[in-house]
Amino acid sequence: MTAAPGTPGGLDAPAVPGPPSTGSDPVDVLTFGETMLAAQLPGPLAVGAEARTTIAGAESNVAIGLARLGHRAAWAGLVGDDEPGRLVLRTLRAEGVDTTWAGVRSEAPTGGLLRERRVADLVRVHYWRSHSAASLLTPAHLAPALDAGARVLHLTGITAALGVGPLRAVHEAAAHAHTHGWTVALDVNHRQRLWTDGEAGRALLPLLPYVTVLIASDDELPVVTHTLGERPEGEERAVAALLDAGVREVVVKRGGEGAALRDRDGSQHTVPALRVPVRDTVGAGDAFCAGYLSGLLDHLPPGERLARANTLGAFAVASDGDWEGLPRRDELPLLAAAPGTTIR
C-alpha cells in the first residue's frame, strides 16, 4: 500500500479504487480512529452529577456530520467486544455511517471518557484509553477499507498518537490514498495528554507530502511546523512552510474569529464565525471539519467551503454534546433565523 510521494492528488481528482469488497461504489469519505463510551455530566464530578451516556470520537463525529448532510461516510475503527463497543457501532449505523470495515477485538476494551461541566462553559474531559481496542489498529486491519476506495481520506493527529500500530496505519493510509488520487485531509487535532508537541510534529511531518488539505487551529500550527526548517513563527509563515512542504491547502480555525484558507496557488480567503450562544464547545472542531469536507464533496468554492464549516461549528457550539446537534442538509439555514424564532 505504501508509495513514495510525488503523484499529486487533487481536490477534484477522482478516486481510483480497487475492487469494492461489498460490490458497491466507493464511499465519499473514509475515516478511522477511536470512538469511546462517553459519560457527560451537567456539573462537576465531585458533587455526583447524574451522567448521560453516549459515544464520542473525533473521526466518528466527522463521519456523523457528513452522513447527516447526505454524504456516504465510512468509519473503520476498532472497538472492544463489550457493551460500549456495541453501543458505538449501533449508534454509528443509526446515524447512517457505514461500519462495514469496523472491527471488534475481544482482547481489549472499548475506550471511555468522562466529560464534566466544571464551571460556566468550561468543560473538563477525563480519558480511559490506554491499551484500548483502538490502540491495536494496524495497517492490515485497514487494508480492506482502503481497497474498497473512497473520494476522501480523513485523518487526525489523535489516531496517530494512539500507538505504533495506529501511527503506521495513518502513514500507510495516507500514502495509499495519495497514490490513488484521493483527497487526503489531515486535522492536526493535537492532544497534549496523548503526546508532546515534539512527538506530534515528528510523527506528522512525513505525512505532509501526501496531504491535500491540512486543518489546524491557530495554536496547533506550531505543533506541525516546528520540525520544518527554521521553525517558522506566526500564522502566515507557518502556513507558507506547510505549503512548501507539499500540502495543497491549509485551513486555519480561529475559533470565535472565524476561519481562513490559503492554497498553493496563492488564493487566500477569510470568513467570520457565526455568532451563536455558547452551550458546549467540545466537538466544534470536528463539526468544522465535517462542514469543510462536505463543501469539498459538493465542489463549493473556497469561501463557501469555509462558510459551511463555520456553520457546522456553530451548530456544535450552540448544542449540547459532541455531535447530537449537528444539522441535516435542510437545516443548514436555521442559524440565519432571528433569535427566538419558532418554525411552524
The pLDDT score that the predictor gives to residue 46 is 86
The pLDDT score that the predictor gives to residue 313 is 97
Banded pLDDT at 12 (limits 50, 70, 90): very low
pLDDT one-digit tens code per residue, 18-52: 333 344 689 999 999 999 999 999 989 888 888 99
The whole-number average pLDDT for the span 242-252 is 97
Q: Which residues contact 9 (CB under 8 A, 6 or more apart)?
A: 177, 178, 181, 182, 183, 184, 210, 212, 248
The pLDDT score that the predictor gives to residue 3 is 38
Query: Over 90: is that where the pLDDT of 330 sits?
Result: yes
| pTM confidence score | 0.91
Q: Which domains does the chain have, with CATH numbers?
A: 27-326 (3.40.1190.20)
* Range in 113-122, 202-211, 228-237, 265-274 the model is least confident about: 228-237
Report which of residues 20 and 311 the model is more confident about: 311
List, by residue number, the catalytic residues: 286
The backbone torsions φ and ψ at residue 189, rounded to the nearest 5 degrees and listed phi first, read: 40, 60
Helix (H, G, I), strand (E, B) or coil at 114: strand
Query: Over 70: is that where the pLDDT of 235 sits?
Result: yes
Query: Over 60: is that where the pLDDT of 7 sits?
Result: no
Helix (H), strand (E), coil (C) string for 158-217: HHHCCCHHHHHHHHHHHHHHHHCCCEEEEECCCCCCCCCHHHHHHHHHHHHHHCCEEEEE
Most confident of 7-11, 120-124, 224-228, 259-263: 259-263
Query: Over 80: is that where the pLDDT of 108 sits?
Result: yes
**Structural contact between residues 49 and 43, judged by C-beta atoms closer than 8 angstroms:** yes
The backbone torsions φ and ψ at residue 81, rounded to the nearest 5 degrees and listed phi first, read: -85, 70
As a whole number, the mean pLDDT across the chain is 91
Query: Over 60: is that where the pLDDT of 83 sits?
Result: yes
Q: Which residues of 215-231 are buried (b: 16+ CB within 10 A; e: fewer)?
A: bbbeebbbbbbbbbeee
Which cell numbers in the block locate residue 22? 461489498
pLDDT one-digit tens code per residue, 181-208: 999 999 999 999 899 999 999 999 999 9
